[in-house]
Structure 1
Amino acid sequence: MFHYYDLGISEVFVFDEFLVNQIREGVVITPAHNIATQTVIDQHFANKPVVYISNRHFSYTVDPLTYIETSKIHNLVGIAIVSDQPDKQSTANYESSFYKKPFEIFNTLSEAMEWVHKVVLVNENSNKKTRKIITK
């Protein structure tokens, strides 16, 4: 599966287990932007786990409170930030304290995609164990 969206403030690339969001230069991301993220996730992932990859190619600002709301998206099981720039990695590290699920920072998209598979697999295994306990 592959889908592409131009949301004006960003470009979103949707794959089987994850989406990549590349936000445009100078944008300020606020909790209200979670609506667009939730819409894309609902449309393509319904009740299956998904990981959000932020490809930080451009400079933009994220209100850290956005992550508190993002944490509430039930099937969003992790966030990966991709940047090879130390200042953007430092900012992402600060932002990670506001997100209560797996959150990692990578130098390349390839590294982030490899991590996605691990996070989704752990989540699926965790859900299987929970279902077994409930049905016993």
Structure 2
Amino acid sequence: MITSYDLGFGQMDIYDDYVITIMNEGIIVLPEYNDIFLKIVDKHFKNKAFVYITHRINSYSVDPTIYLETAKINNLVGFAVVSNDPIQKMQTKLEKTFFGKNFCQFNTMQDAIHWKEEIIKKEID
């Protein structure tokens, strides 16, 4: 891990070519959170392909329109949701329709990181 941020509404860990977030219990992920995310992305991934992985271990809501703006980040090449909760799996299907890029759901972090490696490799080749 390169660094970690306490965002107030969640935790974001920065790695070489991906981020992992864990959002706080009970929050609503809002489009304005993108401003904070963009500053972090610009600092750590300027002109470098990366993947966003969200580890959904807490219960919270996502405004799916957030993905309309998130998808505009040119160097964001994929978005992964890690959860084995059936409700989260259904939510992920809805969220995916707003993103327009590689967007997958996984039961384990290991599977998400393996997918990330494939997506990044395709982007570099």
TM-score range, shorter chain: over 0.9
Gaps of 5+ in 2: none
Is 1:15 the counterpart of 2:9? The answer is no
Deviation at 1:51, TM superposition (A): 0.2
Deviation digits for residues 99-132 of structure 1 (CA, Å, limit 9, x no counterpart): 010000000111100110111111122xxxxxxx
Matches within 5 A, 1:1-136: 1-125=1-125
Give, in whole Å, the separation in 1 of the partners of 2:63 and 2:7: 19
Q: What RMSD in Å do the two structures reach over aligned CA positions?
A: 0.8
> Which structure has the bigger radius of gyration?
1
TM-score of the superposition, structure 2-length normalised?
0.97
Corresponding pairs, count? 125
Give, in whole Å, the separation in 2 of the partners of 1:55 and 1:37: 16
Give, in whole Å, the separation in 1 of the partners of 2:25 and 2:9: 9
TM-score of the superposition, structure 1-length normalised?
0.89
Question: Runs ≥4 in structure 1, deviation > 2 angstroms?
Answer: none
Give, in whole Å, the separation in 2 of the partners of 1:87 and 1:45: 32
Give, in whole Å, the separation in 1 of the partners of 2:109 and 2:55: 7
Percent of aligned pairs with the same amino acid:
37
Deviation at 1:31, TM superposition (A): 1.1
Give, in whole Å, the separation in 1 of the partners of 2:113 and 2:39: 22
Gaps of 5+ in 1: 126-136
Q: Select the structure that is richer in helix.
A: 1
- The residue type paired with residue 105 of structure 1 is Q
Deviation digits for residues 51-89 of structure 1 (CA, Å, limit 9, x no counterpart): 000100001111111000000011111100000111111
